[in-house]
Amino acid sequence: MTKETFLKEIGGKSVVEQIVDNITNAIINGELKPGDKIPTENELCASMGVGRNSVREAIKILGAYGVINIKRAEGTFVTQNYDSKMLYPVLYGIILQKDSANKIVELRKIIDVGILQLAIDKLDMESLHKAEQAMKDIEKTITASSVEAKDIFEADIAFHMVLVDITENPLLKGIGFYVDQITRKSRIKAIEKFLKDNATEQFLLMHKEMLRVLKEKDRNQINKVVENHYQYWEKVNY
């Protein structure tokens, strides 16, 4: 690979944005691979006809995204492993939309469908036991004498994270974590409604159905189960 294959002259977008795009496209196209050292500041400046400050700003942005990392005295390298910071731009894009609440619900549904599909493929006896234990923890929390919505929320998070762990996919785990943080307020509000309506049995049933689909590897029911899982949430919050 030669540096000239991806270092193009600037045009259209701002200088910094174009530098970011050029380096990003080089990674996407395989011209730069995980672990590769990227050109020096001087080489980037010369190849793209830009100033040093613009290059440094672009490198800072890519570093903040977790795409590259700087090793003193060695240079700047493409990140070799997944970094949760890589999700920031996507999540901010969702949060800042006018209709962000509905978009987040849609995203969560899609994620849960994918998680169940993959979890079924990876399921073994040990992971099934963990999922069953997480289900018991939800039931124990709900039936406690003085239960609060936030306690049920934490048990719910733990259950879903067990399902994510079964997939052995760190990207799904990262996405799931941030979506959980984004939806915390609205989900606790929905749980409070469950408690007020004495509908905790319905809450348990939704999770038991999700566990059943996993245990029986009932792929045909995944979409239906996930859809039912979010009907109450949507009704209460939107």
Domain shared by 50 and 95, yes or no: no
Residues 128, 164, single domain; the answer is yes
Domain that holds residue 195: 87-237
Task: Give the burial class of 148: count Cβ atoms within 10 A of its Cβ; 0-12 exposed, 13-18 middle, 19 or more buried.
Answer: middle
Classify 3 as helix, strand or coil: helix
pLDDT tens track for 164-183:
999 998 888 878 887 777 77
Cβ proximity of 157 and 226 under 8 Å = no
Helices (H), 96-169: 100-122, 125-142, 149-167
- Please tell me the pTM assigned to this model: 0.69
CA distances from 204 to 53, 150, 187, 236 (A): 56, 16, 15, 17
Are 161 and 175 in a shared domain? Answer: yes
Q: Do residues 186 and 96 both lie within one domain? A: yes
Mean pLDDT of 216-236: 85
Q: Alpha helix locations (H) across the chain?
A: 15-28, 41-48, 52-64, 88-95, 100-122, 125-142, 149-167, 170-182, 184-196, 200-216, 222-237
Q: How confident is the model at residue 9 (pLDDT cuts 50, 70, 90)?
A: very low
Higher pLDDT, 207 or 232: 207
Check residues 235 and 116 and name the one with the higher pLDDT.
Answer: 116
Residues 38, 100: one domain?
no
What pLDDT is stored for residue 53 in this prediction?
93
Domain count, the chain: 2
- 217 and 111: one domain? yes
- Classify residue 37 by its DSSP letter: B
Q: Quick one: pLDDT at residue 232?
A: 66
Beta bridge mates, 37: 77
Maximum distance among all Cα pairs of the chain, rounded to whole angstroms: 70
Instruction: Based on the fold, state whether residues 46 and 116 are members of the same structural domain.
Output: no
47 plus 64 within the same structural domain: yes
